[in-house]
Copies of this chain bind each other. A is one copy, B any other.
Amino acid sequence: MKLHGYFRSSAAFRVRIALNLKKLDYDTALVNLQAGEQVLAQYRAVNPQGRVPALEIDGRVLVQSLAIIEYLDETIAEPPLLPRDAPGRARVRALANIIACDIHPLNNLAVLNYLKNKLEVDQDKRTEWYRHWVKQGFDAIEPLLAGSTDTGRFCHGDRPGLADICLVPQVFNAQRFDCDLAPYPTICRIFDTCMALDAFERAQPSRQPDAPAPA
């Protein structure tokens, strides 16, 4: 099993957490997004879309982080990453999708580069853009978490799952862009609970082989 990823990619981070939670060993292939390696022919041969992550597993290449994680959950029973009941699954997928569809796509490297290079948006306004979409998304997630008895130690009940897998990398990104997280005590509490787990801790960007050495 081989994961094609990049230390700072949120989507690759999600898959790393899922692989760790499922206790799967995997090899890592590094794709340097800053250097543009994702659009070179060598990587396009793995994933024609030129995005990370891609997971080589069971003789196939799977792409798109949420599709990969659902596949892992369907093919490896324990521990489950989604609840058993349909309403619970809908809630967890909704939380995951608020992050994966409404926050992260606006703030990934390709978009920030477009703003900078094609639209000549300056650094301050790019940061404002970044924080805006984090705020919009977290403003939605916090009450969904704080206001529901379905929320436990984690986003849904007392074990980590798909929503937590999406939430943690997004909080990492928010911290990197100095977003104000004070309005989101439930998000922060769940983040801390997750990061106390080895599966999350080992998956974080700074623990990856392509991360820069600490200053």
Residue numbers of A with Cβ under 8 A of B are 48-51, 58, 60, 62-64, 66-68, 70-71, 74-75, 86-87, 89-91, 93-94, 96-98, 100-102, 104-106, 110-111, 114-115, 118-119, 121, 125, 128-129, 132, 136, 140, 143-144
Contact = CB atoms under 8 A, between A and B. Distances in A.
A71 B90 contact: yes
A208 to B, nearest CB: 22
Chain A contact residues: helix, strand, loop or mixed: helix
A138 to B, nearest CB: 11
Query: Which of A64, A96, A140: most chain B CB closer than 10 A?
Result: A64
Given A70-B90, A89-B71, A64 B105 contact: no
A89 B101 contact: no
28 contacts: A49-B98, A49-B102, A49-B144, A50-B140, A60-B90, A62-B90, A64-B98, A67-B89, A67-B91, A67-B93, A67-B94, A67-B97, A68-B90, A71-B87, A71-B89, A75-B86, A100-B101, A101-B101, A101-B104, A105-B106, A106-B111, A110-B136, A114-B129, A115-B119, A118-B128, A118-B132, A119-B125, A119-B129
A89 B68 CA distance: 10
